[in-house]
Amino acid sequence: MLMANAKSEAKVNTGSKEPWLQDTDDVLRDFDVARKDGLSSSEVSDRQGRYGKNLLREVEKKSIWTIFFDQFKNLVILILAVAAALSFIFGETVQGFAVAAAILINAIIGFFTELKAVKSMESLREMSKVTTRVRRGGKAQNINARELVPGDIVILEGGDIVTADLRILEANKLQSNESALTGESMPVRKQESALEGDITLAERANMLFKGTAVTRGSGEGVVIATGMETELGEISELVEAAGEDLTPLEKRLNRLGHSLIWVTLAVAAVVAALGFVRGKELLLMIETSVALAVAAIPEGLPIVATIALARGMMRMAKRNALVNRLASVETLGATNIICTDKTGTLTENEMTVTKIVLESDEIKIAEDGYEGSGGKIDKPSESLEKALTVGVLCNNASLSEVRESGDSASIGDPIEVAILEAADNLGYRRSELLERMPEKREEAFDADTMMMATFNESNGGFLVSVKGAPESVFEVSTRVLSDGEAKSIDDLDKWQKLNNQMAEDGLRVLALAYKESDDANENPYEDLTLIGLMGFMDPPREDVKDSIGLCHKAGVRVIMVTGDQAVTARNVGRQVGLVDDEDAVVMRSSELHAVEELSEEDKRKIIETPMFARVSPRQKLDLISIHQENNSIVAMTGDGVNDAPALKKADIGIAMGKRGTQVAREAADMVLKDDAFSTIVAAVQQGRVIFNNIRKFVVYLLSGNAAEIMAVGAASMANAPLPLLPLQILFLNLVLDVFPALALGVGEGDPHIMQQKPRKADEPVIRWSHWGFIGGFGLIIAASGLAAFAIALGWLNLDLREAVTISFLTLAFGRLWHVFNMRDFRSGFISNEITRNVYVWGALCLCTVLLLLVVYLPGPAEVIQVTPIGLKRWALIIPMSLIPWLIGQIYRSIGGKQK
């Protein structure tokens, strides 16, 4: 559904040049608006008719009924539905209702576990529910942001949400936080002058974008795009276009379903052919074919798979990972590529002062304090004292407000906050300094000078404190502070080299300088004394390095995909253990061409590259597609609006719960409540355990089903009575098998599983070796059941119903004991993952009670056509049912020694 009609595609044709390449007068002329007056009411009405409301496109909500009916879109369910229909057609009403109940139970479990609306686009639309201050008809007024039209003059102040794409007309110390859109961790300084050349989104300094926020200053802008034509609107289209593919587990279960269809048809065809050849009655042939069809399908498989995955979701929730889709739990275990954003995912998104370089000392700052060449610093030198004083005074942040809110990113500039925090560690507090040295004048940061200055009263005059870009401060400094004394600068090249070295180390660098003056109106940017350089680091998250190390051991590649610059990406990559080489390859966005333009060699280079910089949202989608085409299972982590399309396109989208935008959380398959990279590792481990558990219970279920097919098929070919009847098979498959299989599905798994490589992306749930195991033990279980059946009929001369009861119980208990054959080869005979699983013992006790009830209670016994038996008959049932277990334990023990 479209929130606005086709006319809402609101971007005015501005001629041959984009707005950011034009002067402000040219932009206003193209939009036919006067800055001092704005649009008139008639012009607004006309443009709303042409361009529609300033709204994003809304995707149709997924209804409750759609979610419910989606539970039936499964091949195994389809097969069961056909079996139920055949049962009703041929008068087997009880059997038909039993199969239908199995289908309904699975649907109900899946429905209540996976109940979730698709809200990605709703989250994006929330950004439009704000007011905007505009100038219309020569007057400033607040309007609903959805009423904005191209050509509106918007008035902005610090803290405002930008509600449309704007070309800036005036910028007064204007900065915006665009990290959610571009990945840039620092607030971006804005300007009004035109730009030149091929400018990327992150470099459009004279533009403001819908969905971002003004963090500082004030300004005005003209709306150039609204609704779906904004950069945010383009991302929303990418989210919608990315689509949702089936997860690997769903694909594997569908492949298994296809296999079962052919098995079922083959079995039915063989039985039908034999029946015709032997001249059997049509009704008997139909009953036997239905029995075999029911035996071929593991009715408990969908239920057990659903509950096992739901159990995995609950386990992950306890580990701070919220999973939105059931099958996503298992997909995590197959992940071999994690594409992760840098800002806020690998790093804290908080600036920290880590180094101060003075003329006579280099000081490192860590959590435990300051350390210079002479060791730990308790009392600062005169030069360090001057550096901290200047940094605190030439500052607009407030540390007390930051600490009260607990969110440094929302108060002032992160660099200024970092300076206050570093100074506070040595007792230099802004409030106390301002009390002694009141501020007389501030020279705000200027884009031309790249510096900021303050004049504070001191000793009857003024202390002029300056901070700014090192190159700019160097140019206006004539002296340098050395051991508390101002001396002539003899070697500026030395300072430039220090600046370059700090930048290469991944630090953001500012220079500090000062002078003393008697005139508060004096030019602050001349004849300064250089104090030194201050380096800032956006620190890596504490747990990231260990988590990435665990990923490497587990065969999972971690790839950084960031909107930040290449040198920063490389240094962060080294710090977190993503790469070891100082010259590790970082591929820039300019090197990433459209997928259709890439050669195989280009794709190979992209696949091998560990870090990508200045990447756009569409390029993130291309990166994921390239890795997916290379048979990789790709997980994507992120927290910003720009991550949403990739989160949805990836096999597993992982959003940050604390720092993540609502858009990212709704687009993701999993949300990390603690934003910890280590939680991803735990989720991957749990995903691997769950897949192995699913494989175990599928093998367990199919072994029993194979035994039923062989037993019934052998009796049919021998023209003998059936040892199992259709409802008995259904009882075994739907009731008796489900509980041991569930117990296998919730097992703790191998504790060393993260030391193994990920399985291949196309690896089926059941490999050929597993089919051999299924066939072999199906034959052994069937043989023990048929042997008990033959003894009951031939040697004990029991009637057919009692003999069928004995074969039914023998096969039932044989399948129960078979659960112990699911242990790993290297595990012990007494102590292993199966015997330590309390759920297994509980399932065995429950199933034993159910078997006794169904045999000895008249009602159930009559329905499934069994009869109560005496204790002597158990002397035959128990030994015969233990034969598969005994052979299985011998097989596991011998196989374990050979591994």
Show the 3-state SS of 425-475.
CCCCCHHHHHHHCCEEEEECCCCCCCEEEEEEEECCEEEEEEEECHHHHHH
Which entry of 30, 165, 341, 413 is annotated as an active-site residue?
341
Instruction: Taking residues 52-74, report their average pLDDT.
Output: 71
By the 10 Å C-beta count (0-12 exposed, 13-18 middle, 19+ buried), 630 is classed as middle
Closest by Cα among 732, 749, 762 to 694: 749
For 280-305, the pLDDT digits (tens) are 666 556 666 665 666 666 655 666 67
What is the pLDDT confidence band of residue 868, given thresholds at 50, 70 and 90? very high
pLDDT at 673: 80
pLDDT at 282: 62
CB atoms under 10 Å from CB of 680, counted, come to 27
**Cα 555–chain centre separation:** 18
Instruction: Taking residues 439-460, report their average pLDDT.
Output: 83
**Mean pLDDT taken over the chain:** 81
What is the pLDDT confidence band of residue 221, given thresholds at 50, 70 and 90? very high
Beta strands in 448-583 (DSSP E): 451-458, 461-468, 477-482, 485-488, 508-517, 528-537, 557-561
Q: Which two tokens stand for residue 504?
A: 């290469």
For 690-730, the pLDDT digits (tens) are 888 888 888 998 898 889 888 887 887 777 888 988 778 87
C-alpha gyration radius of the chain: 36
Helices (H) and strands (E) in the chain, counts: 32, 27
Contacts of 267 (CB under 8 A, 6+ apart): 292, 293, 296, 709, 713
8 A C-beta contact, residue 247 and residue 327: yes
d(CA 631, CA 876): 52
CB atoms under 10 Å from CB of 546, counted, come to 14
- Supply the DSSP string of 577-630, one letter for each residue: TS---TT--EEEGGG---GGG--HHHHHHHHH--EEES--HHHHHHHHHHHHHT
Clarify whether 160 is annotated catalytic.
no
Instruction: Taking residues 783-801, report their average pLDDT.
Output: 92
Which amino acid type is present at position 345? T
pLDDT at 127 exceeding the cut of 60 = no
Q: 864-881: string of b/e by CB count within 10 Å (b at 16+)?
A: bebbebeeebeebbeebb
Q: Which two tokens stand for residue 661?
A: 């935008």
Instruction: Tell me how long the chain is.
Output: 899
Four-residue CA torsion sign, 310, 252, 85, 87? negative
Longest Cα–Cα distance of the chain, Å, equals 121
Four-residue CA torsion sign, 309, 314, 319, 321? positive
Strand-strand pairing, 557-561 and 213-226: unpaired
Q: Which of 4-8, 74-78, 358-362, 764-768 has the lowest mean pLDDT?
A: 4-8
Higher pLDDT, 488 or 322: 488
In angstroms, the Cα distances linking 16 to 26, 27, 29, 32 are: 12, 12, 14, 16
**Phi, psi torsion values for 373, nearest 5 degrees:** -65, -25
pLDDT at 763: 76
pLDDT at 666: 67
pLDDT at 299: 55
Which among 27-31, 213-217, 302-306, 408-412 has the top mean pLDDT?
27-31
CB atoms under 10 Å from CB of 497, counted, come to 11
8 A C-beta contact, residue 522 and residue 479: no
8 A C-beta contact, residue 807 and residue 881: no
**Phi, psi torsion values for 360, nearest 5 degrees:** -110, 5
Which amino acid type is present at position 642? N
pLDDT at 307 exceeding the cut of 90 = no
What is the pLDDT confidence band of residue 896, given thresholds at 50, 70 and 90? low
Alpha helices in 114-163 (DSSP H): 120-125
pLDDT at 384 exceeding the cut of 60 = yes
Q: Which two tokens stand for residue 186?
A: 């620092």
pLDDT at 124 exceeding the cut of 80 = no
In angstroms, the Cα distances linking 857 to 281, 606, 850, 851 are: 33, 67, 10, 10
d(CA 800, CA 54): 78
For 71-85, the pLDDT digits (tens) are 777 666 776 777 778
For 803-859, the pLDDT digits (tens) are 999 999 999 999 999 999 998 877 778 888 888 899 999 999 999 999 999 999 988
Q: Which two tokens stand for residue 579?
A: 């790469």
8 A C-beta contact, residue 58 and residue 10: no
Four-residue CA torsion sign, 226, 230, 233, 234? positive
pTM: 0.62
For 156-190, the pLDDT digits (tens) are 877 677 889 999 998 877 888 787 677 665 678 89
8 A C-beta contact, residue 387 and residue 372: no
What is the pLDDT confidence band of residue 530, given thresholds at 50, 70 and 90? very high
pLDDT at 113: 52
